[in-house]
């Protein structure tokens, strides 16, 4: 059995969440995948503003010392809906960073094995 590639990150106290977008081809599916994979709160409204709010919410978003959000298999969504993907990337980019409640790091995985 191979080790989880994020075990070393978890060992430092960081939380790791993986958002797998395989099969996602529209905004509704993207929002549903975010809600499930990231265990977003019930009030998540499945729109860009609500996603930004959740990612910045101290009860979910940045964690102490940090939360790593790995987005994988995003290429199909990016190809199917380039404008939506651009907005998704902007929301993720704006959410990433450090603040009073910890750090949120967002990475886009380029390989299919992560």
Residue 67 host element (H or E) = strand 66-72
**CA atoms of 61 and 50, how far apart (whole Å):** 12
**CA atoms of 62 and 97, how far apart (whole Å):** 8
Q: What is the pLDDT of residues 35-56, one digit of tens each?
A: 999 999 989 999 999 999 999 8
Q: Which residues pair with 72 in a beta bridge?
A: 20
**CA atoms of 74 and 34, how far apart (whole Å):** 12
User: Is pLDDT of 2 > 60?
Assistant: no
Q: What average pLDDT score do residues 67-89 get? A: 97
pLDDT of residue 112: 59
Indicate whether this model's pTM tops 0.75: yes
Q: Greater confidence, 61 or 8?
A: 8
- 């380039």: which residue's tokens? 82
pLDDT of residue 62: 74
**CA atoms of 6 and 77, how far apart (whole Å):** 24
């Amino acid at each position: 059995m191979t080790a989880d590639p994020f075990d070393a990150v978890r060992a430092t106290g960081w939380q790791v969440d993986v958002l797998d977008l395989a099969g996602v081809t529209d905004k509704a599916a993207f929002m549903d995948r975010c809600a499930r994979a990231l265990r977003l709160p019930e009030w998540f409204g499945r729109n860009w503003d609500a996603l930004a709010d959740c990612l910045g919410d101290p009860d979910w978003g940045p964690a102490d010392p940090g939360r790593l959000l790995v987005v994988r298999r995003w290429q199909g969504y990016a190809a199917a809906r380039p404008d939506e993907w651009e907005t998704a990337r902007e929301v993720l980019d704006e959410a990433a960073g450090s603040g009073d409640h910890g750090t949120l790091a967002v990475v886009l995985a380029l390989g299919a094995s992560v």
